[in-house]
Amino acid sequence: MELKDIVKKIDDVKVIAQMTPTQNPRTYNMQLGKIRRAQEDLNLLLEDYRQEVRRKVVFILPAGAGAEKFTQIASEGCFSLDAKELFNKISDKISPVLYGNQPFNASTLDTAMSYFAELADTIGITSYPQVIFKAKYAKKLGSKQDLSESLKESMSESIGSDIVGHYSVHAVAQLAINEKFAGKVVPVVLHSDDAEFIQQLSESLKNITSNVFVIDSKEDVTDKEVEAALKKIKKAVV
């Protein structure tokens, strides 16, 4: 089913799902049942939408001296996400006591993974390898960013950095449905100032889709050059 068809069905079902049943005792139970069925149908349609986003996703990874500028320009017509957003979101839930001049240890990792387990359910990930603490992860944490980096290292090694792609599909699907996006491809710019991580993602994201493009751009990249690069990508996947 195409995104446009799912969007139309979602709009139709929402009308019923968001209704308030009348207080008339003769029709109340019938209307309430109809509303609940519509709410169930709506959840199924939202999952259909996410799966279609996964099927149509195109990952664009800016690299080189012009990566930041390319991201800014491309974000006008593409969905844009920080490649480390998953790890940042988990870090946001953890008490500063655990990363304020404290070592990253097994207890902190276990706490982080308990939050990830909740997120994994939302994303639709039912199973993944257990993340085991290793001595090489034991670095002193001076900030939330340090914690996020430690989570990136440990989770990417045990689960695989393609977890970033699975999270991104979920996050973009939420953004896209709010915009009633119904394009033939779903272009996602995953950006990071960590060139090594971008290179890692360029391989691991292929576990999700073959449509992974690394764009090495110069520092003074222009709008016209970004537009040309995006058109070339679209032509390659449509």
Task: Tell whether 59 and 48 lie within a shared domain.
Answer: no
| pLDDT confidence of residue 206 | 97
Mean pLDDT of 7-13: 96
CA–CA gap between residue 23 and residue 168 (Å, rounded): 43
> Could you tell me which residues are beta bridge partners of residue 32?
none
Q: What is the mean pLDDT of the chain?
A: 95
CA–CA gap between residue 116 and residue 88 (Å, rounded): 11
pLDDT band at 169 (very low <50, low <70, confident <90, very high): very high
Task: Tell whether 124 and 21 lie within a shared domain.
Answer: no
Question: What tokens does 197 get?
Answer: 């991580």
Predicted model pTM: 0.91
Question: What tokens does 178 get?
Answer: 């709010």
Question: What tokens does 154 get?
Answer: 């440990």
Residue numbers of the domain that contains 195: 54-237
Closest of 217, 233, 238 to residue 78, by C-alpha: 233
Task: Tell whether 45 and 147 lie within a shared domain.
Answer: no
Contacts of 139 (CB under 8 A, 6+ apart): 103, 104, 146, 150
Listed residues 13, 35, 53: the one ending a domain: 53
| Confidence check: pLDDT of 188 > 90 | yes
Task: Tell whether 90 and 29 lie within a shared domain.
Answer: no
pLDDT band at 6 (very low <50, low <70, confident <90, very high): very high
Task: Tell whether 145 and 226 lie within a shared domain.
Answer: yes
Q: Which residue has the tokens 């953004």?
A: 175
Helix and strand totals (H; E) in the chain: 9, 6
94-125: pLDDT as tens digits: 999 999 999 999 999 999 999 999 999 988 89
77-86: pLDDT as tens digits: 999 999 999 9
| pLDDT confidence of residue 197 | 97
